[in-house]
Amino acid sequence: MAAAAAAVPVRVCHQEIVKFDLEIKAAVQDIRDCPGPLSALTELNAAVKEKFRHLRGCIQELEQMAKEQDKESEKQALLREVENHKKQMLSNQAAWRKANLACKIAIDNSEKDQLLQGRDSLRQRKTTKESLAESASNITESLMSISRMMSQQVQQSEETVQTLANSSRTILEANEEFKSMSGTIQLGRKLITKYNRRELTDKLLIFLALALFLATVLYILKKRLFPFL
């Protein structure tokens, strides 16, 4: 009964050791695959350290149980298992160190790449700024040229408006002169019409006077030449 009761803690201790061993192996693999940053690696290492602490405690507990065994054979068997667990723990620690080294190298290379990319980005931004500055200068020059052209167009428009205004005044003055001439022409037309009427009347009066004169002459001749008629 005492041997069976002692076997239960040993079995439980074995199970704990196997569990922590598997967890450590998984955590070491996580460290190997860690892309960074260093803060993430630090968190993983803290977890691994805690698991190693529990594993070391379980191994020490198993070693103490081995020393307390009554049978030498069981004692030696447990001590051999303890040694195997210690060797496995040392192997895990070596793998842990290698994983940390590989991860740190990978993170350093990644940071170098990011730094180079940052320099390239800064260089590109500098080039872009220079290009933008040149474009802005060209745009400013184009705007100034357009402004000068617009100023010239405005000046030409003002001159055109002034010419049109002068032409409009000339046309108005000519229109006024035409109106004045039209009045004069109408007055002349009326006078000519009146003169034509008077001329016609004068001709009619002259004709009547001439007819009367001829009638008088004929009458006188008749009386002198033909008194008996």
Closest CA to 35 of 118, 119, 114: 114
pLDDT attached to residue 229 = 60
Q: Record the pTM.
A: 0.47
**Ranges of each domain in the chain:** 7-113
pLDDT attached to residue 158 = 76
pLDDT attached to residue 98 = 94
Could you tell me if 59 and 85 are in contact, meaning their C-beta atoms sit under 8 angstroms apart?
yes
pLDDT attached to residue 3 = 45
**∠ Cα 135 137 143 (to 5°):** 100
Residue with tokens 């009427």: 197
Enumerate residue ranges in the chain where pLDDT < 50.
1-5
Q: Which residues of 32-55 are buried (b: 16+ CB within 10 A; e: fewer)?
A: bebebeeeebeebbeebeebbeeb
Residue 33 main-chain phi, psi, to 5 deg:
-95, 0
pLDDT attached to residue 5 = 45
CATH architecture of 7-113: Up-down Bundle (1.20)
pLDDT attached to residue 53 = 94
In sequence order, the 6+-apart residues with CB closer than 8 A to the CB of 21 are 55, 85, 88, 89, 92
